[in-house]
Each structure stands twice: as structure tokens, then as C-alpha cells.
Amino acid sequence: MHTLAMIGAVALILIVLWDIFETIVLPRRVMRHIRLTGVVYQVTWAPWSAVGRKIHKADRRETFLSLYGPMALLLLLFVWAAGLIIGFAAAQWALGSHFISAYGHYGFVTDLYVSGTTFFTLGLGDVAPDAGIARAVTVIEAGMGFGVLALVIGYLPVLYQAFSRREVAISLLDARAGSPPSAVELLRRHMRDFGVDALTTQLRDWEQWAAELMESQLSYPSLSYFRSQHENQSWLAGLTTILDACALIIVGVDGIPAQQARLTFAMARHAAVDLSQMSGTEPDMRCNTRLPDGDVARLRELLEDAGAPLRAGAEADAKLTELRLLYEPYVFALSQRLLMELPPWLPGEDEVDAWRSSPWEFAPQSVQSLHITQLRTLEFEAR
């Protein structure tokens, strides 16, 4: 029994340490599907998302789902710490529990207590090892606990910095593509207000953003579960909007060069496929519901009214379908898993940009009256 306990203890310690190394230190995607971090997220996300699906009110559902990312991260840290503490306690028990204690009783509970105080470097001293091998294991655990805690402390700022960089571009997309964003609205606003050069610059910036998204979320998979500030925004919606817009430009939109769109499409599609593979989601062919045949005519009409007509004909339609099949099955599968709504192709008629919304719904007349009242108050105080 003691031999089996030692083998199990060493295996548990090595499994946890290797998972910490892959999650925090290793700056690349882990191809192995069975790993401790993946098990934690798979076991916890399934019931959490099931509860989220039963919440019908959109804002409450989004608030509930937004709690998962930080809470799952804290749970993962707890699992790591608990695994190491139990592993070292089992190792001490397998060695015979060589401790001196004023309490007068020994056993696995005492080993667990000593392991916990050693891992967190408390140094209480009420239970001390009295043999060389026990002292060696205690010193190893103390050093390991200090190192793991230092890695975790350095890991959290890096994680939240990557999250902040991701969200900046998503927030900037609001005024350029609407809330929720749509490819047609992105093209309409740039053709009407900002110009083709600004659109090319945007696509170049989003090419960089897609590369950073892929690298950060492949290195730190927990970022995928961190949600944006507003319910109409998400990293998946931003990525899909840019892919939609690039697909339209590649098909052919008068006045918009397609060279940068091809580069951005390639990078964004690469990110979508790799992130889908990382999440273990298979391509979902139900994606064709995003753009029914009846909406294609409306899409062409909106773009033509904006001065950017989309190339027509059977060849153009086939090209658009071909491009959509390169990414839509992957983003649709991610949407179903993460419960993040995909953006529409067409802008909503009554949608209000997030920057225009407010908890206090003032009509324009009310805002004007408020300004007049404030001016009169200032004039009265000046007198």
C-alpha cells in the first residue's frame, strides 16, 4: 500500500506540475486533449452553460455567463494547489509519517495539515519532521509552493493585459460597425463617413488583432471564456464581422481594393479554425442560417445605396458561398459552445450603438431642456 501510495503521489505531483508548466510557462498551443486544465473547464462549463441557457433575459444571462471566466480561473488555481498538497501528503504518508507533534496522534490528516502549511510557507512549527527523508520532502514542497505561487502572481497580470488589449479593438468597432456589429454596416459607414483609406487601415489593424487573438488565446485558453463589457459585443462577434466584411470585399465591392481584405481574411480565418480546434468543437454546417437567400438581395441593395455595389451574378454568389464555408462552420460551432451570439450580416433597423445607450433614456427634447435649465442655473448663480 505504501509503495502504491508513493507511486500515486509522485504521479499526481508530476501531472499538476506539468499542467502548470503548459498553462502558464509554455508559450504555445498544447495539442494534447486530455489535460488537467481541459478537464476542469469541460466539467465546470457544461453545467454552467446549461444554467445560462435557461436564463431567458439577455442581460441577466450575459451577466451570469461573464462570471464563469474569472471563477473558473480561481477554481483552476485551487485545483493545482489541492493536487500538490494532497500529492505531498500522500508521499509523507507513504514514507511513514515521520513527524514530531505535541498533539500525540499521527495519520494522513496530520500529513495533509503539514503539507498545506508547508506549501503555503506558513512555518507554524507545531508539527515538524524528525527524519532526513521527511525533512527533504518538506523542503522540496516549500520551494515548490513558493515557485508556484510566484508563477500564479505573475500569470494573472499577463492574462488581464491580454484581455484588455483584446477588448480595446472590440470597443472601437462599435462606432464603426454598430451594436451588434455587422459587415454591411461596417462597409456602409466607411464608404459614407470615413473613406476607403480608413477602411483599409481598419482591416490592417484587425489583421494584427486576429494574430494577437490567436496567439494569446492559444497560450491562455481561459481567455476564451472572458466576455466583453456589453452584451452586444464579444471577441467572436468582432472576429466574425471582420471575416464577413473581408468576404464581401474579396467577392468584389466597387471602389474597395481587395488586397488587404485577403490578408486580413487569411489571418482571421486562421484564428477561427485554430481556436475552434483548441475548444474541441467540430465544424457545424448549420451556419447557413446566418444569411438566408432572401437576405442576399437586401444586402446588395444596402451596399448599392451606400455607393459600394456588390458584384452580382452566379459566379459572385458561388464565390461568397465558398468563402463563407471556410470560416462560418467554425465560428458557428464556437458560438454554440461559448453561448456567444454571432453578428448578423445585415444591420438591425432599430439597433442603437452601445456608445449612444444610457441607463437614463432621455429624448432629444429632454436633453435640450436639461441643457437650457443648466444654463439658466449658471446665469442665476453668476448674478
Q: Model confidence over 5-45: pLDDT tens digits?
A: 899 999 999 999 999 888 888 766 666 667 888 889 989 99
Tens of pLDDT, residues 261-313:
999 999 999 999 999 988 888 888 877 778 887 888 888 898 888 888 999 88
Residue spans of the domains in the chain: they are 2-153, 173-338
The pLDDT of residue 281: 87
Using a pLDDT cut of 70, give the percent of the chain over it: 88
Assign a CATH topology to domain 2-153.
Helix Hairpins (1.10.287)
Region of 22 (left: φ > 0; alpha: ψ -120 to 50; beta: rest) is alpha
Report the DSSP beta bridge partners of residue 310.
253
More confident: 101 or 217: 217
Summarised one tens digit per residue, pLDDT across range 360-371 is 554 454 445 545
What pLDDT was estimated at residue 212?
93
Q: Which of 247, 173, 165 is nearest to 209 (CA)?
A: 165
What was the pLDDT predicted at 370?
A: 45
Task: Name the residue with higher pLDDT: 131 or 140.
Answer: 140
Q: What pLDDT does residue 382 have? A: 58
Model pTM score = 0.83
What percentage of residues in the chain have a pLDDT greater than 90?
A: 40
Q: What is the pLDDT of residues 330-360, one digit of tens each?
A: 999 999 999 999 999 988 766 666 656 655 5
Tens of pLDDT, residue by residue over 40-97, are 998 999 999 999 999 988 889 999 999 999 999 999 999 999 999 999 999 988 988 8
State residue 31's pLDDT score.
63
